[in-house]
Amino acid sequence: MEKPLTHHIRDDKRPLDLKEYEKVGGYEALRKVMKGMSPKAVQDLVKESNLRGRGGAGFATGLKWSFVPMDVPGPKYLIANADEMEPGTFKDRILLESTPHQLIEGMILSAYAIQADHSFVFLRWAYKTAAQAITQALREAYEAGYLGKNILGSGYNLEMHLHTGVGRYMCGEETALLNSLEGKRATPRAKPPFPQISGLFGKPTIVNNVETLCNIPHIVNKGSDWFRTLSRTTDTGTKIYGVSGKVKKPGAWELPLGVTMRELIEEYAGGMQDGVKFRGALPGGASTDFLVEEHLDVKMDYTHVAQAGSRLGTGTLIILDDKTCPVGFVQNMEHFFAQESCGFCTPCREGLPWVDKILASLDLGEGREEDLKLLDFHTKYLGPGNTFCALAPGAMEPLQSALKYFRKDFEQHVHDHRCPWKENGHR
C-alpha cells in the first residue's frame, strides 16, 4: 500500500530537514517542472489526476486553478490554508510538523501553475511546533534557491511567508481567511467575484488545503495515472483519515480513498473500547451529518459518503458510543459553532446561540415538547441558502442527523425531565 504523503515521516515525528527531504526525492518534482513544463501543463496534469480538495469541500483542484486568468498583470497569490480549526480534525497538523518541505514544494509547484509570485502559509495560532518547522524549512528553501528570485535558473520568482492567524473557525472559509490576511475582521465576502478573479488585495488568488498541496509533488513526479491507481474508487488518491472517540487506538492513517468506515474503526482504530458499543459517527469532522450502524460498510470517499447522506469533509471520524448522551454530544458542538459565528448574518448570529440554549435546557432536564419543533425549524432556516456562508449550514448537519437517528433520546430528555446518562455516571 503506497503512502506518498506520510511514508517518510519519522517515528519520533521530528521534521525532515532539507537534506533528508532531498534524499527521499524531495524537490525532484520542482526540478522537473522548472526544466521545461509550462504552467498549463502542470494544471492539465493535476486536472487529469482528479485530485479533489482535502479541506472539506472536495472541489476539483485543477479545475479551480483553471479559473485564474493567466493574461493579467501581477501580483497573484497562492495560499495554504493551515488554519485547521474543524473539531475532530488533526490531519494537516501531522504534515505541517513532520514534512514541512513537502508542503513548501507543493506550494511552489501550485504557485507556478497559476503564475503566482507571492504565497502564504496561513497557520493556526496554536500550532507552535508547526510554526517552528515551517520557519526553518522556509529558511532552508530560500538558501537552496528553491524560493526567491530566478528559482533554479528558470526565471520564475516566488516569495513565501508564514502568517499566523489569531484563531477563528471562520478562517476556514477562504474569503474570511483573505480578510484576516489583509488585517481585517474575518468575515466572509460576497461571491462573485470569486477569489480566483479578485482575492487577496483584489488580485487573483488560490486558497488550497495543506493535504491538497502536499499531493502535488507526487502527482508531478509519478503522473496522473499513478495517482488514480492509489484509490479504490473513482475519487482518486489517498486520504489521511482520523478516528477519535471511545476506540482502543485513536489516531490517523493514510489509506486509499474508499476504505470503509468499518475498516477504519475495527482494523485501524482497534475497535470500540471494552464495555461500549458504536452508535454513530460524524465522518468528516463536527460539521457533517451522522452515519450510523447501517452505514459501516459505506466507502469513505466523496461520492459514496454523499450518497449515504453526509459528507466526507476532512475524513476524520468522531465516534458516538452508547454510553455517551447524543444530546450532550451535539450541544457541545453547537456551543462551539455559536461561539465561532462571525456575527455577519442574522440567522447564524442569532440562531446558533438559540440552538445552543435549547440543547442546554434539554440536557438540564428543562426541555419542552415545542423545543424539538424549534430545533427542527432551525435545521431548515439555518440550512443552505439562508445564511451568508456555510458555517451555520455546517453546524446544522450534526443536529439534523441526530434528530433523525436519535430522536427518541431527545424525546426522553423532554418526557423524563432529565438526562439518563448523567444519572448513570457516563457524562
Q: Could you report the per-residue pLDDT of 300-331, keeping only the tens digit for each? A: 999 999 999 999 999 999 999 999 999 999 99
Q: Which residue has the cell 438540564?
A: 364
Backbone angles phi, psi at 342, to 5 degrees: -80, -15
User: What's the mean pLDDT in 142-148?
Assistant: 97
Q: What is the DSSP letter of 272?
A: B
In a domain, 311, yes or no: yes
User: What's the mean pLDDT in 360-386?
Assistant: 94
Q: Report the CATH number at residue 257.
A: 3.10.20.600
Q: Is pLDDT of 198 > 90?
A: yes
How many Cβ atoms from other residues are within 10 Å of residue 190's Cβ?
7
User: What's the mean pLDDT in 261-272?
Assistant: 97
Omega within 30 of 0 (cis) for the link into 256: no
- Distance, CA of 22 to CA of 220 (rounded, Å): 16
Which three three-digit cell numbers place residue 253? 492513517
Q: Is pLDDT of 12 > 90?
A: no
Sheet holding 316-321, edge to edge: 251-256, 238-244, 316-321, 278-282, 291-292
Is 357 in the same domain as 340? yes
Q: What is the model's pLDDT at position 322?
A: 95
165: left (phi over 0), alpha (psi -120 to 50) or beta: beta
- Distance, CA of 202 to CA of 306 (rounded, Å): 34
Q: What is the model's pLDDT at position 73?
A: 84
Is 90 in the same domain as 225? yes
In a domain, 238, yes or no: no
Is 210 in the same domain as 295? no
Q: How confident is the model at residue 424 (pLDDT cuts 50, 70, 90)?
A: low
Is 344 in the same domain as 399? yes
Q: Is pLDDT of 404 > 80?
A: yes
Is 40 in the same domain as 113? yes
User: What's the mean pLDDT in 402-417?
Assistant: 95
> Of 279, 328, 282, which Cα lies nearest the Cα of 427?
328
Percent of the chain surpassing pLDDT 90: 91
Which three three-digit cell numbers place residue 422? 448523567
In a domain, 13, yes or no: no
Whether residue 210 contacts residue 95, with contact meaning beta carbons closer than 8 Å, is answered with yes
Is 317 in the same domain as 347? no
Q: What is the model's pLDDT at position 177?
A: 95
Q: Is pLDDT of 72 > 90?
A: no
Angle between helices 391-405 and 369-381 (to 10 degrees): 140
User: What's the mean pLDDT in 15-19?
Assistant: 95
Q: Report the CATH number at residue 175.
A: 3.40.50.11540
pTM of the model: 0.94
End of a domain among 260, 294, 321?
Answer: 321
Is 92 in the same domain as 218? yes
Q: Is pLDDT of 210 > 70?
A: yes
Q: Report the CATH number at residue 379.
A: 1.20.1440.230
In a domain, 372, yes or no: yes
In a domain, 373, yes or no: yes
pLDDT digits (tens, 9 = 90+) for 211-235: 999 999 999 999 999 999 999 999 9
User: What's the mean pLDDT in 120-139?
Assistant: 96
Is 128 in the same domain as 195? yes
Which three three-digit cell numbers place residue 162? 508564514
Q: Is pLDDT of 149 > 70?
A: yes
Q: What is the model's pLDDT at position 403?
A: 97
In a domain, 210, yes or no: yes
- Distance, CA of 226 to CA of 211 (rounded, Å): 18
Is 128 in the same domain as 98? yes
Q: What is the model's pLDDT at position 204?
A: 97
Q: Is pLDDT of 426 > 60?
A: no
Whether residue 284 contacts residue 310, with contact meaning beta carbons closer than 8 Å, is answered with yes
Q: What is the model's pLDDT at position 13?
A: 83
CA 374 to chain centroid: 30
Which three three-digit cell numbers place residue 302? 466523496
Beta bridge partners of 159: 118
End of a domain among 321, 352, 385?
Answer: 321
In a domain, 8, yes or no: no
Question: Total structural domains in the chain?
Answer: 3
End of a domain among 229, 264, 295?
Answer: 229
Q: How confident is the model at residue 11 (pLDDT cuts 50, 70, 90)?
A: confident
Is 368 in the same domain as 313? no
Is 247 in the same domain as 261? yes
Q: What is the model's pLDDT at position 79?
A: 98
Question: What is the rounded average pLDDT for all residues in the chain?
Answer: 95
In a domain, 2, yes or no: no
Is 210 in the same domain as 155? yes
In three-state secondary structure terms, 363 is helix
Residue 316: give the domain boundaries: 243-321
Q: Is pLDDT of 423 > 70?
A: no
